[in-house]
Amino acid sequence: MATLLEQRLQSLAPLIKDPAAPGADAPGGKAASVVSLIYPTPDVSGDQHKWDIAQKNILSRLDEDHGLNERAAAKLRDYVASMDTEHLPTGGFALFADGEDVTIHPLTVRPAPTLHEGEVYALPALVDAAAAQRYWVVVLDIDAPRLFEVQGGTWTDRTPKEVMTLSGEMGRTEPMASVTFHSSGRPHIGQAGHAAAKFHGLGTATQDLKQTEIENVLTRFAVQVRDVVKGDSDPVLLAGDPKRTGLFRGHFDHQHLVEPDLHVAGDALELRELAGRAGDAMKAEEDKRRKALLDELDRNTLTDNTNLLLEAAREGRIATVYLREDGAGLLHGDDERLKIDSVDDWEVEARSSIVAYALKNGASLVLFGEEMADDLPLISASMRY
């Protein structure tokens, strides 16, 4: 299955100049310029009118900027006018128009509101995809064991069709539709969500059942989970009562099993609550991984000159880009600014191009907060050669 970054790069490829040929048009032909519209989704849970205000401001901004490509601006205007609160992405959206087509990308992160014409400004969309975590969550509810695949805030049920339940009977389980949650940890249920989805008696045992019967359920499920995730390099997070997760670990071996387990229990635990806790746990795990990587990084191997980075990115010489969060075009906290800024700083445009070229040529991206490595510049990179 392609990663979110691979899917996004494929979609944006016609709008990104070929990094192997500086100055050349992208495959299939590229318009002289691209109009990029980036906007964060307002929190409409308590006030539906917030989107009405935001929508009006976006449309006014598109109408007021007379220097924009008219066809591209018209396409963006039509799309924004068709949006409603029911279908708003969790974090925000990135729209790109070249006069012929509109490329649409829902975001799980909250981007800074931006309107730009010129070389495609895809930085927030690419950061969103590159930073999207992929992992598995094994829910050790012995009444209804579940296996979820998580990517970019979307939970997809991958539970095998037949699982052994607490009673020992074989039951057929139909996977639920994908559910999307905020990457910040507190989830939001979209139209495909199951707000009432619950795990009943998560990790709790019916007292009249023997311990051997409980172990049979977990042992059988461990085999089934192993068959699904074998060979996969994504982390696996166990969720359930400590006794259940410990027992499961005795029968399940995976090189990327997350520690500690997510210890949750209780009747009627909502799926959204589980998603929030799992998101928090995996963010902590990812922060720990990135901090260890940055601590071991030899600063003498890095290049931070913008012009040199642009050249290296175009030629495919960059191995890893290190980008500080405050230079990634994102909003922090609950800021709901409605003013849409332009990209007037060449350095900002250059950062977007460096990341786009480098990722398109197979480089990796490490996003970090200043507290993780306060001695690193806004953007730098290690080289393949």
Percentage of the chain surpassing pLDDT 70? 81
For β-strands 134-139 and 146-151, DSSP reports them as: antiparallel
pLDDT at 334: 65
The DSSP-derived string for 293-352 is: HHHH--GGGEE--HHHHHHHHHHT-EEEEEEEGGGTTB--TT----PPBP---HHHHHHH
Q: Across all residues in the chain, what is the average pLDDT?
A: 84
> Domains (ranges, CATH) in the chain?
4-130+297-383 (no CATH), 134-290 (3.30.420)
pLDDT of 177 strictly over 80: no
Residue 383: pLDDT band by 50, 70, 90 thresholds?
very high
Q: Which amino acid is at 310?
A: L
**SS3 state at 141:** coil
Supply the angle between the helices 123-130 and 4-12 in degrees, to the nearest 10: 150
**Which of the pair, 338 or 284, is modelled with greater confidence?**
284
Q: What pLDDT, in 10s, does the model give residues 101-147?
A: 899 999 999 999 999 999 899 999 999 999 888 999 999 988 889 99
Count Cβ atoms within 10 A of the Cβ of residue 213 and give its class: 0-12 exposed, 13-18 middle, 19 or more buried: middle
260 prior amide bond cis, ω within 30: yes
Of 72-86, 130-144, 211-225, 257-271, the least confident = 257-271
At 255 the pLDDT is 86
The whole-model pTM stands at 0.80
DSSP letter for each residue of 36-53: EEEEEPP--SS-THHHHH
126 in Cβ contact with 148 (< 8 Å): no
User: Where does the pLDDT of residue 195 fall: very low under 50, low under 70, confident under 90, or very high at 90 and above?
Assistant: very low
How far is the first Cα of the chain from the last one, in angstroms, to the nearest whole number?
30
